[in-house]
């Protein structure tokens, strides 16, 4: 591009809009401040025009009483603006002396005097004056000099409370009202004082919990005591009497007291300070009615409406009360009108809402004809409703910026909507489509697909698929059909900061950051997770302090950038390659060139040593030559650089920055070869967050807070030549959303009235996204249904290589069934001769022998909360329920120890600190008792003396898991969001070693006869990563992905493990302990032990319910084997009565399978069940002949059957031995089917020659 050329604006790419919401109005009604998600706007209401904007929305505003000045608090700076031009008159920046926890927000607190000459600023942590040891600084706005320093006269709240302090000038520039609210669980305390600024003296200490209102001129303050406001149907605590104290602001003296019978619900003072109106409720009032259909209770809920003369204290009148209780009341512009907020049930839950009504104070007549506020719009008449001085118009704060008539509520002016902010931009490899936040746009037609549940996106596989990420989940879905082909979640492990995928889509890198609450406001740990889709059981998790990442085009390495350096990571090993390259601060963007020769990194310089999140530093950009890691270009900006892009040919670079009050956002474009800047684009007025070049480099897409824009990057001469060649850029002038797509459910829905073709034509699933078959079978028990496609387990289940169906009937009345249903089973002895069980009736505990006979009963009148049998079967530890109840009160725990066989009580342990036993364990030699105290602490007790040996409680973790090894050598502990698993000494609970668990630990189990520890770690919704550790060496032996687990059962030798699924997933997994190989997966819908798998004592064999039940594994099912032609199809063999069912599921709808017999003969009765939406053709080919079935859109009545022998095709009638009738089951019998399937009985004539195999082929004309 020539130096005099400049990019041209093509089009805005996002049709969404946002409405400014009003946050402040000047007292004279001339000016208003409004905010969107990303900017602050100043309006002149007289001319109804926007006069100023600031490119930030995290600010607070207040006007002086004379409307001449605006106080604005943003980030770390306090501004005072004049309202005639909104220029900055004064500015103070906070510089805290005492650092706060990193990652927290800096909070400012200030107010402006009525005449705008002074500001009061909270000097918390010496933020605004390191030398002045005062809580509040009073400064002159014009000169900035310090007038006075005040200290809070209120006692600081206790460490457990949450104080909130606000202050404001009252009536005069030398009177400051300080109010402190302290929040504690279930309670709120209010305390207010009035101070003289010049002397620093306290003029008045108002009664505790008093609510204050000031007169219009600020000369009077009224304090209401025993005032109660309720917005729920809970019982209101009413008082017999209340009082209203009238105070003179100048002297602080109480002028008079007005006593009122009942509880003051609300009150107000008129502008002149001569009248006071209040609503009172009697002390015997009942709680509000929760039923919206119930008529108001006139005798029990109504309030009285009274008005007083303030100078005399005499009551003027009692107004006629409306038929609803008055919770809020305020005067209009004068004392002639009052506005009532009345309670009524909301009809949704047990909450109440306000009905607003305007009345004439003198006559009591209703002036408003309707309730002009939408339900739930207004929460506070005093702070949110603004009335213009003419009394004819109003505005509602924190709602859409508009002027309405009063009291009718008709809108007379609305602020113009703003463009919706866009944060991400991406072109498809073909250049036909582009992505901007939640919209996929066809650039040739302007048609758009709106994507729900998708935060970030990257085109892969030539644009046929999309890599997307949300808060804590990454996935791959097809572009055309929106079908999710792969996904991985990180629930309980934090949120995703950034993610990327290698060009071949096999390797994925994710940066995770743990939530702030989980680390007690300490620096939040981060980790780099490396996922290989070819080996998903072996993810890597590497602790790292980084913010952005990008793959090298080879996919073998990736670049990870943090606050100090960028390093290259080898994906296979997870180790750093070469020397990290230093950076100038926090990384906000990273981009690797298409040939892997250049690396761009950009961000902001450190804001301050305290690291407040809402502060903005200067920007920087560095370009590195990857052949020697040398910096070949550098650029600086006054604001952070947040967006980078490199053209597909690697010849052009682009970057953009954030906007601030004083710095505009810009797009800079460089020549990559010379690193010379070509030009600057000034097209956005707000911050820019992302950039993307089209594949041909002729178009640039920018995503900013004021929308997404397409820029023509061609030179003038090129544009003229393209126009002559009819090869110009085509873009429609109107965008049209035609589809809604849900990235989670996979559904695509057309937006009416559009009924044309889909945005993206249908395509076959890319080969790299087809599911690989696992080497384990799925055994479905009874009528267990496979989980819906939306469930994260779906893909894992569908990888089963074979499916079996078990429909054994359970005799619920048999003696075995009744015996199993009478107990909840607990721990076993290591020789499997004894087992504890809880009786269903009474919650007492019995010891059973190997034959199920009761050896000993341990009974307590109140029942037993926890019990454990030692591996040696010598001791039983018990925590009775009555001791648990006492522990909740006195916070002391005790455990009782008994001889297991004789039932003799051996000892009761000494009381120890604790509230609830959530786990109780003994070890093989009966030396230690292990107690987990409500997941708050771990206790070790001496089983011989009853003394407490050790107690461990984490400092910050919300929970701690623990398990004691049967050998008694180790106690394993893991804290939520902690660093792996810690092995501790049982007698001291001192750390011995750490096991490097990759993710958040959800459970732990020791194997019976070895020091191997199984650790379940959260690894996505409904999935876990199970890892086996050797405790002696500390090594990880294997990892395996499995469904979320509630419990684990081992065989006697500890060679086999059966997981019991979490409630809801119904998937139990049988695997070998030695290598974690999954042998079988069981699916069931039952919750009873009779309906669930049961592992044998010797392992390897699984029964239904108990060893007396049917064998579930190993299987001896139909002697058939299937090979499918597409990986997204599945074939399952079922046995239903005497019929063998071949059950087929096909995602794409066009596929086939080969069925081989592994026995001498085919089953006598066979049926094919096809889970398709339509059946255009289904063929069974035995080699010599083939039979075709077809069902048209008319349903079962419109079907045909034909026979093919060589080139000859014959239509069959019902008399042919090859003819069978297709049956439609479910789906209301209407094609296309929804939740239904086709059943095709296979004719016995087809198998007369006993072929070795048959070929199946199906075509669904309603395929995806």
Least confident residue range of 727-741, 767-781, 1107-1121: 727-741
- Residue 1084 has what pLDDT? 82
| Encoded tokens for 1100 | 């390897």
Degrees to nearest 5, angle at CA 796 with 792 and 797: 105
- Residue 231 has what pLDDT? 34
* Residues near 727 by beta carbon (within 8 Å), at least 6 away in sequence: none
* Residues near 1158 by beta carbon (within 8 Å), at least 6 away in sequence: 1119, 1120, 1121
Do 193 and 253 have their domain in common?
Answer: no
* Residues near 266 by beta carbon (within 8 Å), at least 6 away in sequence: 227, 229, 278, 279, 326, 327, 328, 329, 330, 341
Least confident residue range of 215-229, 427-441, 999-1013, 1091-1105: 215-229
Whether 726 shows a pLDDT value over 60: the answer reads no
Residues 466, 475: Cα–Cα separation, whole Å: 8
Do 494 and 635 have their domain in common?
Answer: yes
Query: Considering only CA atoms, which of 214, 208, 210, 204 is closest in space to residue 223?
Result: 210
Least confident residue range of 932-936, 1135-1139, 1159-1163: 1135-1139
Degrees to nearest 5, angle at CA 761 with 759 and 764: 140
With b for 16 or more beta-carbon neighbours within 10 A and e for fewer, the 287-304 pattern comes to: ebbeeeeeebeeeebbbb
pLDDT digits (tens, 9 = 90+) for 263-302: 888 999 998 899 999 998 876 555 544 443 433 444 445 7
Residues 426, 468: Cα–Cα separation, whole Å: 12
pLDDT digits (tens, 9 = 90+) for 199-237: 989 999 998 888 899 988 888 988 888 654 433 334 444
DSSP class of residue 516 equals G
Which stretches of 894-953 are assigned E, i.e. beta strand? Answer: 896-899, 905-908, 912-913, 917-922, 928-933, 937-942, 948-952
Query: Considering only CA atoms, which of 180, 60, 156 is closest in space to residue 109?
Result: 60
- Residue 290 has what pLDDT? 43
SS3 54: strand
N residues, the chain: 1264
pLDDT digits (tens, 9 = 90+) for 1014-1044: 999 988 878 899 999 999 999 999 999 998 8
Q: Is the pLDDT higher at 276 or at 1195?
A: 276
User: Does the predicted TM-score (pTM) go above 0.75?
Assistant: yes
Q: Is residue 34 part of a domain?
A: no
Q: Is residue 945 part of a domain?
A: yes
Least confident residue range of 66-80, 395-409, 489-503, 507-521: 507-521
- Residue 609 has what pLDDT? 46
Beta pairing class for 598-604 and 937-942: unpaired
The DSSP element (H or E) to which 487 belongs, if any, is strand 484-489
Whether 770 shows a pLDDT value over 80: the answer reads no
Q: Is residue 772 part of a domain?
A: no
Q: Is residue 761 part of a domain?
A: no
* Residues near 218 by beta carbon (within 8 Å), at least 6 away in sequence: 65, 114, 170, 171, 172, 249
Backbone angles phi, psi at 423, to 5 degrees: -115, -15
Do 642 and 524 have their domain in common?
Answer: yes
- Residue 203 has what pLDDT? 93
- Residue 1241 has what pLDDT? 95
Residues 97, 91: Cα–Cα separation, whole Å: 19
- Residue 378 has what pLDDT? 59
Which stretches of 761-844 are assigned E, i.e. beta strand? Answer: 777-781, 802-806, 823-828, 834-839
Distance of CA 66 to the CA centre of its chain: 45
DSSP codes of every residue in 158-170 = PTTSEEEEEEEE-
Whether 670 shows a pLDDT value over 90: the answer reads yes
Question: What average pLDDT does range 452-477 have in this prediction?
Answer: 85
Q: Is the pLDDT higher at 1109 or at 301?
A: 1109
pLDDT digits (tens, 9 = 90+) for 621-667: 999 988 887 888 789 999 999 999 999 999 999 999 999 988 999 99
Do 528 and 432 have their domain in common?
Answer: yes
Whether 332 shows a pLDDT value over 50: the answer reads yes
| Encoded tokens for 432 | 């036909």
- Residue 361 has what pLDDT? 92
Degrees to nearest 5, angle at CA 938 with 934 and 940: 125
Residues 351, 288: Cα–Cα separation, whole Å: 9
Do 447 and 360 have their domain in common?
Answer: no
Q: Please count the structural domains in the chain.
A: 5
| Encoded tokens for 1029 | 């550790």
Query: Considering only CA atoms, which of 576, 649, 579, 653 is closest in space to residue 621?
Result: 653
DSSP codes of every residue in 665-723 = --EEEEETTT--EEEEE---SS-EEEEEE-TTSSEEEEEETTEEEEEE-S-HHHHHHHH
SS3 1247: helix
pLDDT digits (tens, 9 = 90+) for 874-887: 999 998 877 666 65
* Residues near 1160 by beta carbon (within 8 Å), at least 6 away in sequence: none
CA distances for 1212 relative to 1200, 1218, 1247, angstroms: 8, 8, 18
- Residue 121 has what pLDDT? 94
Give the rounded percent of residues in the chain with a pLDDT score beyond 70. Answer: 87
Question: What average pLDDT does range 939-953 have in this prediction?
Answer: 95
* Residues near 741 by beta carbon (within 8 Å), at least 6 away in sequence: 440, 449, 450, 451, 452, 482, 747, 748, 749
CA distances for 1036 relative to 311, 538, 984, 1057, angstroms: 83, 11, 18, 17
Residues 246, 213: Cα–Cα separation, whole Å: 10
Do 74 and 147 have their domain in common?
Answer: yes
pLDDT digits (tens, 9 = 90+) for 1227-1245: 777 888 877 889 999 999 9
Do 841 and 956 have their domain in common?
Answer: yes
Percent helix, strand, coil in the chain (nearest 5)?
A: 5, 45, 50
Residues 486, 472: Cα–Cα separation, whole Å: 14
CATH number at residue 318: 2.130.10.10
- Preceding amide of 1232 cis, omega within 30: yes
- Residue 414 has what pLDDT? 95
313: domain range? 234-365
Contact 943, 897 (CB under 8 A): yes
Distance of CA 366 to the CA centre of its chain: 47
Q: Is residue 615 part of a domain?
A: yes
Residue that is last in its domain, among 1038, 1060, 1082: 1060
Give the residues across from 440 on adjacent strands.
435, 449
Contact 1118, 1133 (CB under 8 A): yes
pLDDT band of residue 481 (cuts 50, 70, 90) is confident
Query: Considering only CA atoms, which of 123, 121, 171 is closest in space to residue 141?
Result: 121
Query: Considering only CA atoms, which of 604, 611, 569, 576 is closest in space to residue 589?
Result: 604
Residues 329, 310: Cα–Cα separation, whole Å: 17
| Encoded tokens for 1020 | 């996505």
The 10 Å Cβ neighbour count of residue 927 is 16
Least confident residue range of 13-17, 190-194, 333-337: 13-17
With b for 16 or more beta-carbon neighbours within 10 A and e for fewer, the 389-407 pattern comes to: eeeebbbbbeeebbbbebb
Residues 866, 895: Cα–Cα separation, whole Å: 9
DSSP codes of every residue in 1220-1241 = ---EEEEGGG-SSPSSEEEEEE
Question: What average pLDDT does range 502-518 have in this prediction?
Answer: 83
Backbone angles phi, psi at 519, to 5 degrees: -120, 15
Question: What average pLDDT does range 819-827 have in this prediction?
Answer: 88
Do 672 and 531 have their domain in common?
Answer: yes
Q: Is residue 819 part of a domain?
A: no
Question: What average pLDDT does range 964-970 have in this prediction?
Answer: 95
Do 559 and 648 have their domain in common?
Answer: yes
DSSP codes of every residue in 82-130 = ETTT--EEEEEE---SSPPPTTPPP---EEE-TTSSEEEEE-GGGSS-S
Residue that is last in its domain, among 187, 205, 223: 205
Q: Is residue 1075 part of a domain?
A: no
Whether 1258 shows a pLDDT value over 90: the answer reads yes
Give the residues across from 61 on adjacent strands.
72
- Residue 115 has what pLDDT? 93
Q: Is residue 1103 part of a domain?
A: no
Q: Which ranges of 790-829 would DSSP assign to H, the alpha helix?
A: 793-798, 815-821
Do 200 and 291 have their domain in common?
Answer: no
Distance of CA 1117 to the CA centre of its chain: 44
Degrees to nearest 5, angle at CA 1201 with 1197 and 1202: 155
Q: Which residue is associated with the tokens 């005639």?
A: 84
Residues 500, 849: Cα–Cα separation, whole Å: 57
pLDDT digits (tens, 9 = 90+) for 342-379: 887 765 555 677 788 899 998 888 888 666 565 555 56
Q: Which residue is associated with the tokens 């073709």?
A: 757
| Encoded tokens for 592 | 């690797």
Do 735 and 828 have their domain in common?
Answer: no
With b for 16 or more beta-carbon neighbours within 10 A and e for fewer, the 998-1021 pattern comes to: bbbbbbbbbbbbbbbbbbbbbbbb
Do 1035 and 1148 have their domain in common?
Answer: no
């Amino acid at each position: 591009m020539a130096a005099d050329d400049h990019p041209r604006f093509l089009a805005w790419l996002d049709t969404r809009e946002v409405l400014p919401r009003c946050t402040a109005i000047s007292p004279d009604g001339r000016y208003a401040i409004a905010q969107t998600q990303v900017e602050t706007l100043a309006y002149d209401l007289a001319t109804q025009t926007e006069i100023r904007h600031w490119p930030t929305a995290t600010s607070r505003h207040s006007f002086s009483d004379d409307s001449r000045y605006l106080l604005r608090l943003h980030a770390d700076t306090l501004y005072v603006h004049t309202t005639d031009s909104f220029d900055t008159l004064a500015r103070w920046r906070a510089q805290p002396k005492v650092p706060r926890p990193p990652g927290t927000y800096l909070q400012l607190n200030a107010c402006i005097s009525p005449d705008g000459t002074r500001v009061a600023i909270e000097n918390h942590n010496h933020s605004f004056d390191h030398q002045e040891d005062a809580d509040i600084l009073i400064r002159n706005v014009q000169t900035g000099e310090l007038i006075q320093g005040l200290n809070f006269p209120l006692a600081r709240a206790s460490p457990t409370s949450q104080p909130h302090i606000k202050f404001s000038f009252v009536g005069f520039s030398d009177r400051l009202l300080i109010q402190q609210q302290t929040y504690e669980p279930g309670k709120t305390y209010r305390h207010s004082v009035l101070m003289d600024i010049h002397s620093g003296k306290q003029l008045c200490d108002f009664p505790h919990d008093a609510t204050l209102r000031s007169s219009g001129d600020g000369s009077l303050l009224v304090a209401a005591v025993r005032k109660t406001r309720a917005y729920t149907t809970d019982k209101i605590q009413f008082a017999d009497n209340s009082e209203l104290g009238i105070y003179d602001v100048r002297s602080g003296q109480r002028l008079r007291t007005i006593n009122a019978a009942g509880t003051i619900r609300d009150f107000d003072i008129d502008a002149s300070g001569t009248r006071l109106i209040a609503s009172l409720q009697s002390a015997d009032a009942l709680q509000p009615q929760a039923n919206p259909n119930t008529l108001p209770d006139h005798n029990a809920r109504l309030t009285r409406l009274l008005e007083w003369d303030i100078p005399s204290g005499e009551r003027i009148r009692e107004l006629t009360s409306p038929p609803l209780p008055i919770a809020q009341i305020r005067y209009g512009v004068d004392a002639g009108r009052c506005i009532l907020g009345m309670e009524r049930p909301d009809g949704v839950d047990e909450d109440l809402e306000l009905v607003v009504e305007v009345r004439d104070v003198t006559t009591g007549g209703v002036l408003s004809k309707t309730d002009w506020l939408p339900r739930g719009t207004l929460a506070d008449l005093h702070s949110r409703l603004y009335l213009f001085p003419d009394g004819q118009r109003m505005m509602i704060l924190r709602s859409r910026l508009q002027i309405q008539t009063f009291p009718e509520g008709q809108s007379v002016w609305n602020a113009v909507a703003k463009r919706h902010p866009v944060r991400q931009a991406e072109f498809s490899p073909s250049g036909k489509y582009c992505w901007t936040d939640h919209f996929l746009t066809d650039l040739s037609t302007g048609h758009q697909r709106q994507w729900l549940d998708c935060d970030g996106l990257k085109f892969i596989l030539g644009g046929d698929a999309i890599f997307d990420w949300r808060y804590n989940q990454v996935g791959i879905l097809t572009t055309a059909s929106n079908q999710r082909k792969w996904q991985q979640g990180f629930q309980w492990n934090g949120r995703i900061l950034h993610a990327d995928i290698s060009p071949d889509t096999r390797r994925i890198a994710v940066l995770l950051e743990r939530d702030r609450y989980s680390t007690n406001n300490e620096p939040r740990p981060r980790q780099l997770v490396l996922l290989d889709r070819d080996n998903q059981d072996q993810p890597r998790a590497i602790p790292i302090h980084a913010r952005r990442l990008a793959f090298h085009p080879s996919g073998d390495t990736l670049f990870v950038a943090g606050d100090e350096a960028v390093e290259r990571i080898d994906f296979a090993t997870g180790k750093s390659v070469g020397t990290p390259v230093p950076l100038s601060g926090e990384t906000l963007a990273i981009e690797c060139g298409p040939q892997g020769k250049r690396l761009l990194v950009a961000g902001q310089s450190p804001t301050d040593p305290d690291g407040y999140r809402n502060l903005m530093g200067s920007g920087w950009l560095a370009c590195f030559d990857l052949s020697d890691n040398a910096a070949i270009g550098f650029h600086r900006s006054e604001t952070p650089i947040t967006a980078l892009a490199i053209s597909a040919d690697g010849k052009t670079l682009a970057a953009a920055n954030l906007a601030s009050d004083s710095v505009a956002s810009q797009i800079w474009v460089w020549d990559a070869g010379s690193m010379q800047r070509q030009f600057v684009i000034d097209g956005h007025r707000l911050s820019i967050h992302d950039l993307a070049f089209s594949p041909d480099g002729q178009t640039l897409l920018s995503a900013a807070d004021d929308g997404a824009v397409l820029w023509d990057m061609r030179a003038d001469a090129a544009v003229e030549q393209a126009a002559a060649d009819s090869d110009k850029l085509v873009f429609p002038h109107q965008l049209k959303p035609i589809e809604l797509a849900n990235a989670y459910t996979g559904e695509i829905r057309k937006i009416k009235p559009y009924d044309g073709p889909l945005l993206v034509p249908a395509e076959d699933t890319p080969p790299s996204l087809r599911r690989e078959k696992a080497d384990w079978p799925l055994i479905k028990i009874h009528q267990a249904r496979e989980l819906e496609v939306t469930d994260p387990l779906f893909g894992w289940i569908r990888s089963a290589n074979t499916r079996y169906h078990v429909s054994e009937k359970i005799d619920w009345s048999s003696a075995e069934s009744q015996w199993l249903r009478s107990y909840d089973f607990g721990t076993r002895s290591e020789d499997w001769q004894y087992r504890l069980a809880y009786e269903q009736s009474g919650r007492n505990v019995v010891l059973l022998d190997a034959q199920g006979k009761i050896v000993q009963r341990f009974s307590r009148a109140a029942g037993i909360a926890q019990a454990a049998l030692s591996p040696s079967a010598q001791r039983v530890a018990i925590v009775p329920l009555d001791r648990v109840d006492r522990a909740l009160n006195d916070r002391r725990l005790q455990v009782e120890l008994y001889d297991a066989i004789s039932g003799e009580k051996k000892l009761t342990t000494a009381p120890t600190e604790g509230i609830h036993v959530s786990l109780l364990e003994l070890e093989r030699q009966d030396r230690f008792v292990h107690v987990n105290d409500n997941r708050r602490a771990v206790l070790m007790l001496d089983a011989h003396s009853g003394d407490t040996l050790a107690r461990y409680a984490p400092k910050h973790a919300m929970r701690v898991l623990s398990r004691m090894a049967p050998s008694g050598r180790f106690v394993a502990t893991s804290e939520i969001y902690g660093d792996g698993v810690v092995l501790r000494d049982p007698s001291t609970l001192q750390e011995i070693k750490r096991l490097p668990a990759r993710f958040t630990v959800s459970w732990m189990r020791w194997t019976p006869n070895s020091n191997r520890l199984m650790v379940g770690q959260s690894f996505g919704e409904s999935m876990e990563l199970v890892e086996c550790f050797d405790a002696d060496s500390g090594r990880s032996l294997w990892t395996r992905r499995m469904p979320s687990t509630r419990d684990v059962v081992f065989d006697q030798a500890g060679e086999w493990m059966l997981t019991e699924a979490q409630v809801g997933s119904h998937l139990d997994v049988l695997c070998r302990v030695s290598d974690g190989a999954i042998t079988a997966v069981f699916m069931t819908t039952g919750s009873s032990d009779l309906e669930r798998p049961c592992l044998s004592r010797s392992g390897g064999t699984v029964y239904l319910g108990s060893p007396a039940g049917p064998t579930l594994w190993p299987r001896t099912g139909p002697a058939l084997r299937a090979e499918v032609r597409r990986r997204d199809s599945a074939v399952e063999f079922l046995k239903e009565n005497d019929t063998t069912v071949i059950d087929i599921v096909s995602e794409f709808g066009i596929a086939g399978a080969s069925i081989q017999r592994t026995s001498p003969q085919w089953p006598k009765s066979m049926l094919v069940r096809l889970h398709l939406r339509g059946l255009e053709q289904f063929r069974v080919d035995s080699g010599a002949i083939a039979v075709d079935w077809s069902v048209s859109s008319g349903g079962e009545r419109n079907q045909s059957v034909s026979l093919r022998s060589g080139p000859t095709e014959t239509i069959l009638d019902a008399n042919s031995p090859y003819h069978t009738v297709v049956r439609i089951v479910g789906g209301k019998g209407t094609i296309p089917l929804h939740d239904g399937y086709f059943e095709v009985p296979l004719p016995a004539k087809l198998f007369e020659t006993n072929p070795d195999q048959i070929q199946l082929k199906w075509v669904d004309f309603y395929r995806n």
